[in-house]
Amino acid sequence: MLDKKYRDEAIAISKHDLSSLPRTVGWESPSNIALVKYWGKKGFQEPINPSISMTLSNMHTQTRIHYARARNDQGRMWLRFNGMDNHPFGQRIQKYINSLATYFPFLKKLDLHIDTRNSFPHSAGMASSASAMSSLALAICSIEQGLREDPLTTEHFSQKASYMARLGSGSAARSIYGNYVEWGQHAYGSDEFAHPYAKKIREPLSFLHDSVLITSTEPKKMKSSSGHELMDQHPYRQARIGQALSNMEKISRSLRDGDFHSFSEVAEEEALSLHALMLASRPGYTLLRQATIEIIDELRSFRQETGAEVTFTLDAGPNVHVLYPTREKERIREWMNQKLKPLCEHGKMLHDFTGTGPERLHNGPS
């Protein structure tokens, strides 16, 4: 539906006035952690099941694009990723930007100097595609916004940015908004773009800490895109879709009631089911490490003994996201420093929390 709308729009506004250039645009966009996981695709970058995530704050990408009209309208692109000219991730970004020319034909006429950098080291074992692709999508939508005679409303701008971010990395569609964000059709919602979770959230769930325990910084044995693909013929595919739908409802009730216990049940079931799906894929594979399992066991024993409000989730990797409300912060941090830090690679933990979403950058390079 939106594909046609955005293509038509591209034709209608292809006579952009480029005389006011050059200009610079910049966005800072955060990473997010899914609670109900997106795993498996249909069509073009659409999810087989709905998902919900919490937007983070400290882990983000800043992307700045300096753009100018190219000589003879033959646009070129220069890209720096984390300060490096030929970073392997840079090639993925380049491919992504080229693919967006269908919706933004003016890109072909521009020289683009793109500088994109993560607040967290690329080697930290943290996925950076959600923050990187969302910050790029926002920057490109902002270039278009600046060239349009009829600028989009904030709502439509975000929706378009979410749609475009999705084309780069599904989970990036959710990073366009702050707090809790849903993506994918269920009782409501769309597979084409994400939207902020709209219902009232009760304490203590409206703001959570997320300490990411780094158990390995080795590159992943299996890319997420290959993992998604294995869902096409997965023996548990239908059961997985059913599980995600019912967990969307359950987590929505938990958020409404401020019920940390049932929230934890969903978060943990989803994390372990994601990895169970990987184990049972054809061929199967493992991303979990010994330290991942040890941390999960420690966390469950600690919770049993103390009654602390603490839970965990996992991304498509071996690092553990430990989630807890502010009222638990002191004792959780003390316990993590004592018991969990020694299980992390070089004792590495990244502390983050619920974030408010992307921000436009107005000043020059940082």
Q: What is the largest CA-CA distance in the chain?
A: 70
* 63, 128, 129, 162: residue in contact with ligand PMV (rule CB under 6 A): 129
Strand-pair category, 349-353 with 320-325: unpaired
The number of helix segments (H) and strand segments (E) in the chain equals 9, 13
Binding of ligand PMV by 192 (CB under 6 A): no
- Rounded to 5 degrees, φ, ψ at 57 are -125, -60
Contact status: 117 vs ligand PMV (CB under 6 A): no
Integer Cα distance of 59 and 351 in angstroms: 9
**Residues 169-188, mask of contacts with ligand PMV (x by CB under 6 A):** xxx-----------------
29 part of the interface to ligand PMV, by CB under 6 A? no
The stretch among 87-95, 167-175, 280-288, 301-309 that binds ligand PMV (CB under 6 A) is 167-175
Q: Are the CB atoms for 271 and 210 separated by under 8 Å?
A: no
Distance (Å, rounded) from C-alpha 213 to C-alpha 210? Answer: 9
Taking CB under 6 A as the binding criterion, the range among 80-88, 99-107, 165-173, 191-199 that sits at the site for ligand PMV is 165-173
Our CA dihedral for 276, 281, 283, 285, rounded to 10 degrees, sits at -20
Q: What is the contact mask toward ligand PMV in residues 223 to 242, using x (rule: CB under 6 A)?
A: -x------------------
Among 21, 25, 34, 212, binds ligand PMV (CB under 6 A): 34
- The number of CA neighbours under 13 Å toward the Cβ of 72 is 1
Taking CB under 6 A as the rule, does residue 315 contact ligand PMV? yes
Q: Between residue 45 and residue 64, which ones bind ligand PMV under the rule CB under 6 A?
A: 51
Through-space distance between the first and last CA atoms of the chain, rounded to whole angstroms: 39
128 binds ligand PMV (CB under 6 A): no
Number of residues engaging ligand PMV in binding (CB under 6 A): 13
Please report, as ranges, the residues that interact with ligand PMV according to CB under 6 A: 34, 37-39, 51, 129, 169-171, 224, 274, 315-316
